[in-house]
Copies of this chain bind each other. A is one copy, B any other.
């Protein structure tokens, strides 16, 4: 018996070893989270977890212990009571239109456009307006956890500059449209603008410049093809509204005896790196075309519901293997840029429309807002998940609100009870844009004051128009 205890003691005795601690690699930042949702191929979730970041990249994702053993961070961000996840990707918006939010709701589309939005745009869109509006949008996106967004508007170079200054990642499309608009009198002028814009920003680390033919019903065939050609020549994305409303389908059928998707196929419009927004009114043949052409699709459930546009066939897109992302659309038709609302709405709408409560579960909604969006924009090697070698675009989200208590499943809570306001930290390219809800790259008070000043002009423009 004594020998047995002696043996035990021997085994249990602390062994005094001069441990040869391997040198830890110096990195800029380690983020430690109560839960880390990676959105990697295995959809690994670490509770707890940590992300090591250096420069603009993620170096490694692992348990806090494993990361602590290997890395010596200059800064540690403790999000031990939070969820860490990839930054959200908004695949469709018109950033400066935050200036028109709530200006005119609950109207038929044509009345809304013709009596409010078009007059307001005609009288107010200017480089200054676009700059002020984009800063406001960027502030809202940083505050609500969006790290990358796709845009389509006018004076896109102003949007690019404001986006870069705010530190956000943007896939930004200069609009090309047949009728005269604030930044171009003709489509030729718009195309020249788009090319200058592409050349100016094509080597930017945050901005991916793009060309954005507005839609097939607002551009003739030569303009559509010139846009596609421009995109191909510069190897940049092409962004277009596709099959958003039943009216668009009617127009295409009357003029071309084809669906919008089939018409664009017939003229040779579809090319690489193309992102189609909405894709509500598509049939099975259209989905096959989009699949074959590897078109990314942006689903915008809130806008589609508020404007009564219809229901995009989300489950069919996913079954077909289409790269599907999520968008808010412009804040004039939503009325905000909160991707948590977009996730929730995507899930609710899919269940409602399919009469199936198992449709688009929380997990799938989160996929759409992260890796799905990255795939839709052809950027899945850079963003959309937390993996070594990808850009360090991530957010931390508080989970201590009353409405988040108790918690059984972090993914469910992210989709069903979390709001953008719960985001605590927003990091893009390894840079902390917001910490403890304090945005570092924009002066919040100035951005809000500028927007409120400009709003007076918008109010006047619409009052005159009515």
A residues with CB within 8 A of B:
98-99, 101-103, 105-109, 112, 136, 139-140, 143-144, 302, 304-308, 310-311, 334-338, 345, 347-349, 351-352, 354-362, 400-403, 405-409, 412-413, 416-417, 419-421, 444, 447-448, 451-452, 454-455, 458-459
Contacts and interface: CB of A to CB of B under 8 A. Distances in A.
A308 B105 contact: no
Interface centre among A106, A407, A458 (most CB of B within 10 A): A106
B417 A403 contact: no
A99 B406 contact: yes
A349 B421 CA distance: 24
Given A143-B403, A308-B357, A311-B352, 16 more contacts: A101-B416, A102-B409, A103-B408, A103-B409, A105-B416, A106-B357, A108-B356, A112-B357, A136-B405, A302-B348, A304-B352, A305-B352, A307-B351, A336-B403, A402-B444, A406-B454
9 contacts: A101-B416, A106-B360, A139-B402, A305-B349, A305-B352, A306-B351, A306-B357, A307-B351, A402-B448
B357 A403 contact: no
A241 B103 CA distance: 38
A301 to B, nearest CB: 9
A112 B412 CA distance: 15
A98 B409 CA distance: 14
B348 A406 contact: no
A361 B143 contact: no
Contacts of A444: 402
A108 B102 CA distance: 37
B102 A407 contact: yes
Nearest to A403: B336
A52 to B, nearest CB: 30
A408 B140 contact: no
Contact of A417 (B335, B455, B459): B335
A416 B102 contact: yes
B351 A348 contact: no
A105 B362 contact: yes
A144 B421 CA distance: 14
Nearest to A453: B406
A403 B416 contact: no
Contact of A102 (B347, B402, B417): B417
A302 B106 CA distance: 20
Contacts of A362: 105-106
A44 to B, nearest CB: 20
Contacts of A459: 408
A412 B102 contact: yes
Contacts of A136: 402, 405
Contact of A348 (B144, B306, B359, B402): B306
Contacts of A140: 402-403
Given A338-B403, A358-B108, A402-B444, A351 B408 contact: no
